[in-house]
Amino acid sequence: MGVIHIKWQAFIIFLVLFVFVAGVGFWAARWRRGDLTLLDEWGLGGRRFGTWVTWFLLGGDLYTAYTFIAVPALVYGVGAFGFFAVPYTIVLYPIMYIVMPRLWRVCKANNFVTPSDFVKARFDSRSMSLAVAVTGILATMPYIALQLVGIQAVLVAMGINSTGVLKDLPLFIAFAILAAYTYTSGLRAPALTAVVKDILIYATVIVAVIAIPAKLGGFTHIFSVSQTALLAKKGNIILTPKLYGAFSTLALGSAFALLLYPHVITGTLSSKSGRTIERNSALLPLYSVALALLALLGFMALAAGIKTSVSSEVVPLLLLKTLPEWFVGIAFAAIAIGALVPAAIMSIAAANLFSRNVYKEFFNHGATTQQEAKVAKVTSLIVKLGALLFVVIIPLKYAIYLQTLGGIWILQTGPAIIGGLWTRWFHKKALLIGWFVGMAWGTYMAYTLKFASSTYDLRIFGKSELGYAAVYAVIANLVLVVILSAIFNAAKMSNGVDKTSASDYLPDAQIEPAKVR
């Protein structure tokens, strides 16, 4: 038993870049020095990241290794439907422009670190705050685990595919390094390493969309061969009318869901101002261009004759077949580093939620910010270890199932977080009931689909409407919230005290200079 058939050129380049990024991660503790014993510094980078750092950080946060692997693999499997990821990221940024600067301002004004902090203060509800925290942690865990898919895929493709103890040793080493530099450097580590990751990703995409079509006979040939191959698999290179509803609801629902994930909110709150987020909302669509080009790799894999039943192998096999081995090493490093950056942010975000909204709220209400940071650091290690063990011990399909559920679950926090930014008319008990019903019905829909898909065929007045289960669940959630809020408010049931102030929600331009924090 041992490592055999290693592609040494690719592996050496991969290893050099991986070690370089690890060094950058450890050095990040000295970058923009702050007191890393404080949760605000360790978990949010001191809220001092400017436009370009935030751009790289959010880009590294939103476009993960799983995206790099999964989007082309979905296009390879079903065709045009896999491109839903492109409009969803385009729709995402106008929503971000409207929502996230407002969230940043109220969080900055009140020293909130997590969305649960905001929900607790806005609605005076520990229960709803806990619901948001638990949902965020549950939704994040499988997301971290799936980052390992990218690393596993490139390791296997390079020949690092042993058995026994050696089989998972490279993964343990990679995540031990990730855990160490995240523990020491906090959010500064993924902020810096994201710069390297994005440079490698863009280089890979640009070379791939030029070199691979040239080798395969051009895009006309690629699309022709892809259509023939997809029809045999009941797919299509063009979106069919029956999928319009599923495609549009999946794109729209995914956009809102992504903004609600703890790691995205954590990356956003690390910005130095609301204006920084607004500028990034205008700049980040550049990543959507790269994503659209990346999705084309699925068609290229079909045209190149790639045959595999394991979706995570599609991109690595295509790159190995069509590009020089030395460049494949760069591409594989981009995928692996593309796993480490978001995994670091996700573990930090989950740790912030646990430390602030579970540990401090229910176990040590008088915890100092130093104690919060210490608990968060330890929790980030546990979260990463749990995700690693999940992938190593449990079949990958279960991590994918949980990720499907994660998107459905996280969207159910939208009425409290996004809705709460504009109104306090929602009653806290109505929000909790709506959240519970949305979670339950969303989980039921995923169960009936055997967790293999998130598009549900809903029967309405005898008609069939195929759409994203998370959207159906959050609609039910919102309807209940509105109806029950009207009833509870009419009955004059206590709705607690809003601990935020009206000025917290004003744009920077409307706040007097002396009051700008």
pLDDT tens digits, one per residue of 315-351 = 999 999 999 999 999 998 888 888 888 888 999 999 9
Distance CA 265, CA 104 (A): 9
Our CA dihedral for 509, 512, 515, 516, rounded to 10 degrees, sits at 20
Angle between helices 396-411 and 428-448 (to 10 degrees): 150
> Which residues make Cβ contacts (< 8 Å) with residue 246, sequence separation at least 6?
81, 455, 466, 467, 468
d(CA 431, CA 483): 11
Kindly report the length of the chain.
Answer: 517
Residue 405 and residue 401: Cα distance in Å, rounded? 6
Q: Which residues of 90-117 are buried (b: 16+ CB within 10 A; e: fewer)?
A: bbbbebbbebbbbbbbbbbbbebbbbbb
Amino acid symbol at 35: D
Helix, coil or strand: residue 449: coil
**Residue pair 153/335 in contact by the 8 Å Cβ criterion:** yes
386 vs 302: which has the higher pLDDT: 302
Q: What is the pTM of this model?
A: 0.90
Residue ranges of the alpha helices (H) in 217-324?
218-232, 244-260, 262-269, 274-283, 285-295, 297-303, 314-322
Q: How far apart are CA 386 and CA 470, in angstroms?
A: 26
What integer pLDDT is reported at residue 163 of this predicted model?
A: 58
168, 172, 174, 179: CA torsion to nearest 10: 160
**Structure confidence by residue, pLDDT tens digits, 345-390:** 999 999 999 999 999 999 988 888 889 999 999 999 888 888 787 7
- What pLDDT digit, counting tens, does each position of 120-129 carry? 999 999 999 9
Domains and CATH numbers, the chain: 8-25+35-404 (1.20.1730.10)
Amino acid in the structure at residue 283? L
Query: Is residue 1 very low, low, confident or very high in pLDDT (cuts 50, 70, 90)?
Result: very low
Phi, psi dihedral angles at 467 (to 5 degrees): -155, 175
**pLDDT value for 2:** 45
